Structure 1
Amino acid sequence: MFEQAQDELLTLRDLLRFTVSRYHEAGLFFGHGADNAWDEAAYLLLHSLHLPLDRLEPFLDARLTSDERRVVLRIVERRIGERLPVAYLTNEAWLAEYRFYVDQRVIVPRSFIAELLREQLAPWIDDPEQVSSVLDLCTGSGCLAILAAHAFPQASIDAVDISPDALAVAGRNVADYQLGERIRLVESDLFAGVRNRRYDLIVSNPPYVKAASMATLPAEYRREPELALASGEDGLDLTRAILAAARKQLKPHGLLVVEIGHNRDELEAAFPDTPFTWLDTSAGDQYVFLLHREELP
């Protein structure tokens, strides 16, 4: 069918329709930047043709050269055949209107903490310019560290990850945003490499997928590093470790902000005396908690 498409489909509209049809036929899973076949197909085609990502309509009836059709169809065929998240095919992901380089050494950025850094921490942080030190724990691609550097213009940022491969990707993104003087990359198992430092704010989007869920993840998620996803039987292994050590890493009145996926009930049952504040995100108030240093167990 792809050989037939190469010969018979002429316009971007033709190829977009073809791609959406093949996506549905293959039963692909969406969740790495788009949540439906049409939006992802439009993005993938526009990116592959080096067209503006926000201007589909003017180009829909433009005819493609045979070489352009070949490029587009090859990448669509890889998306379907290899079940790769589209971000790995384009080597880019967008978070809070910021672009990041990504590849299979890191998970695709999608943290709710990104929107919180911009909008929702104001009740707990009166003056962003008074924040002088931030830790991004389990930094992955470095996206939250970079967003924190923009949200807190006077802060020095430590970006920690156990994976040297992830830190290599983070280093590329830090360089792209010219933040090398403000963001320090640290290879460390959680706090081990920063034990002598104290922070005004610690943010973390750690692994939080429980064992039973890991076994049933769609193929696209299984293309991401397991190290960045799995966190024990109940998904809370890393979160427990963060809660156990965070008090010593925070300055007086410092804040801890952690994303935990769908594990709110399990976390509250495990820590019944801890007064979690659940922050509102675009998907609800059960995914990210905040604790003051003085509230930590």
Structure 2
Amino acid sequence: MKISLKIVALLSIFLCVFVPVSIAETAQTQCPAHETTGSLNAAQVPFHDMFLTQPTSEACACNTETEKTQPEIVLSRPAPAIVYTHKNLENCQHSKHLSKSSELRSYEVDTCYRIKELYWTILSPAFCQDGSRAVLSRFGGKTCTLGSRVEDMIVVDETILWRCLGMMGDTSSFAFLCDDVRELENQWFNPWFLTKATVVTLTLMRQFGFLSGVELAMVFYALRWLGLFSFLWEFVKTMCFYIVIWYLGSIMFLAVTVGIMMVMTLILLGYDNLCHSLWDAD
């Protein structure tokens, strides 16, 4: 199995040949300078309390190196305690609040805003490793090591999960993982077969050392393109289906039309012969 996974990783390299490996070394996501007061560095805020803070300016989705500047979390005013459930994520993952802009608005306290804030939190390298452990515990029903029940968190989205898993390994996998929030909503980015079972299986293989961080990122990147290819294949099959239906329908229409014309011709010929017979009898 380990050899087959290595082969899959090599095939994924071929699929991703247009993405230079050098991007992993040059892709840098710079956090903008914040002009706010009363801010705390993300490393100084407990993991559970991160969900109850409210940024007032643009946050940095992720950095290619953990030791770089971390995103600042501004405690502008107390936020209401919200229970994060999977249902809230399903209701909001296609909301306009999750895309259109990378700026977090200061007075947006609805559920969609909280989910968007959580996206940024999990994608930050300061908490990605802990966040990934929390997601893994979510599937296993364990208690989070940081003092809060994992079931109270909303970190169950597969896209966030495998992004964080890549950050557990080599930092060179950031070229595949550091993307904008807008790409979280691309339908072909998360193919239909990338189910929780697939993610958990690959995650466990990563945990037990069968896959490195780079190989895991490559596997998911290959799945991403396979999802696109499967979509194109479904489109081609659908188009062929409609073409065949149109072709057969056209043949049937012509057959019915010709049949009606033949019946009408036979009726007219029969009527003509009947008239000639009556005239000959006279």
Query: TM-score category by the smaller chain?
Result: under 0.3
Write 1 or 2 for the structure with the bigger share of helix.
2
TM-score calculated relative to the size of structure 1: 0.20
Write 1 or 2 for the structure with the bigger share of strand.
1
Larger RCO (CA within 8 A; separation ≥ 6): 2
Larger Rg: 2
TM-score calculated relative to the size of structure 2: 0.21
